[in-house]
Amino acid sequence: MISLSTLDVLKDDELRGVIAHSQALLKKRDEERKTKAVADARAILQSAGLSLKDLNAKAKKKPTQGRLYKGGHLYQHPSDKTLVWKANGQKPNWLRELEGQGGKAVEA
């Protein structure tokens, strides 16, 4: 093992060489750790009947709940015609409450 006092007597070029060698050694060790980790992960997945590709598979889209209102339309409350939504932005509370009760807005 190199002691700090040994490094103190090295010339600048020698120190740069030690640093370069140390960085290369660290990079090699990192790559070995990653390779081992991937091999271990593959072994675990294989024992479960999976592959690394299975982990990357896209999740299915969740189905939307309720009716989607598209822009460009005008929706009114069925009994209170003053309550209007132009289908821009979030649904107003009156529409959420109406849908919660099983009703639907009327397209105007």
Query: How much is the pLDDT for 66?
Result: 60
Q: Is residue 3 part of a domain?
A: no
Question: Is residue 16 located within the same domain as residue 49?
Answer: yes
Look at residue 104 and tell me whether its pLDDT is greater than 90. no
For residue 75, how many other CB atoms are within 10 A of its CB? 20
* Contact assessment for residue 105 and residue 76, using Cβ atoms and an 8 Å cutoff: yes
Look at residue 60 and tell me whether its pLDDT is greater than 60. no
- For the chain, give the mean pLDDT: 84
Please list, in sequence order, all residues whose beta carbon lies within 8 angstroms of the beta carbon of residue 22, skipping any fewer than 6 positions away. Answer: none
Q: Is residue 69 part of a domain?
A: no
Q: Is residue 45 part of a domain?
A: yes
Domain range enclosing 83? 75-107
When pLDDT is averaged across residues 58-64 and rounded to a whole number, the result is 59
| Model pTM score | 0.45
Question: Is residue 48 located within the same domain as residue 79?
Answer: no
Q: Is residue 42 part of a domain?
A: yes
Query: How much is the pLDDT for 47?
Result: 93
Paired with 107 in beta bridges are: 75
Q: Is residue 2 part of a domain?
A: no
When pLDDT is averaged across residues 24-39 and rounded to a whole number, the result is 96
| Token couple for 12 | 């600048």
* Burial of 76 (C-beta count, 10 Å sphere; 0-12/13-18/19+): middle
Q: Is residue 63 part of a domain?
A: no
Domain count, the chain: 2
For residue 21, how many other CB atoms are within 10 A of its CB? 10
pLDDT digits over 81-93, tens only? Answer: 888 888 778 888 9
Q: Is residue 4 part of a domain?
A: no
The residue length of the chain stands at 108
